[in-house]
A and B are shown apart, each in its own frame.
Chain A
Amino acid sequence: MSRNKYMKAPSRKSMIILIVCIITGFIIGFSYNLTKDNKKITSPSVSQEETYREDLIRQQERNKELSEELNELQQTIRDFEKTFASNKDEFEILQQEAEKLRLMLGEIPAVGQGIRITLNDAEYNPNNSNPNDYIVHDSHIFKVVNELKISGAEAISINGHRLKSNSYINCTGPVITIDGSQYPAPFVVEAVGNPEVLISSLQIVGGVFDQLINDQIVVTIEKKGQITMPSVNETQS
Chain B
Amino acid sequence: MWLPFLGLILGLALGLLTDIQIPSMYENYLSIAVLAALDTLFGGIRAYLQQVYDDKVFISGFFFNIVLAAGLAFLGVHLGVDLYLAAIFAFGVRLFQNIAVIRRILIQKWDERHIKKSEKTIE
Contacts and interface: CB of A to CB of B under 8 A. Distances in A.
A18 B62 CA distance: 13
Contacts of B18: 26, 29-30, 33
Given A21-B8, A26-B15, A34 B22 contact: yes
A24 B22 CA distance: 18
Interface stretch (A9-17, A62-70, A137-145): A9-17
Contacts of A18: 3-4, 6-7
Contacts of A14: 3
B14 A25 contact: yes
Size category, B interface = 20 to 34
A24 B5 CA distance: 11
B93 interface: no
Contact of B16 (A20, A22, A32): A32
Contact of A29 (B5, B6, B11, B62): B11
Contact of A24 (B8, B20, B55): B8
Contact of A26 (B11, B24, B44): B11
B16 A29 contact: yes
Contacts of A24: 8, 11, 37-38, 40-41
Interface string B10-41: 11111110111110100100110110011011
Interface residue SS majority, chain B: helix
Contacts, number: 104
B62 A20 contact: yes
Nearest to A18: B7
B58 interface: yes
B106 interface: no
A26 B41 contact: no
B6 A27 contact: no
Contact of B31 (A16, A20, A31): A31
Given A17-B44, A20-B44, A33-B18, A27 B4 contact: no
B28 to A, nearest CB: 11
A46 interface: no
Interface in A6-61: 12-14, 16-35, 37-38
Contacts of A29: 11-16, 18
B15 A17 contact: no
Contacts of B10: 21-22, 25
Given A17-B44, A27-B30, A32 B7 contact: no
A153 to B, nearest CB: 98
Interface string B77-112: 000000000000000000000000000000000000
Given A21-B5, A32-B15, 18 more contacts: A16-B59, A17-B7, A17-B44, A20-B44, A20-B58, A21-B7, A21-B10, A22-B8, A22-B10, A23-B62, A24-B8, A25-B12, A25-B14, A26-B18, A28-B34, A29-B11, A29-B18, A33-B16
7 contacts: A13-B55, A18-B3, A21-B3, A25-B7, A25-B11, A31-B33, A34-B21
Interface of A: 12-14, 16-35, 37-38
Interface of B: 3-16, 18-22, 24, 27, 30-31, 33-34, 37-38, 40-41, 44, 55, 58-59, 62
Identify the 8 closest CB pairs spanning chains A and B, nearest first: A25-B11, A29-B15, A21-B7, A30-B15, A24-B37, A22-B11, A26-B11, A29-B12
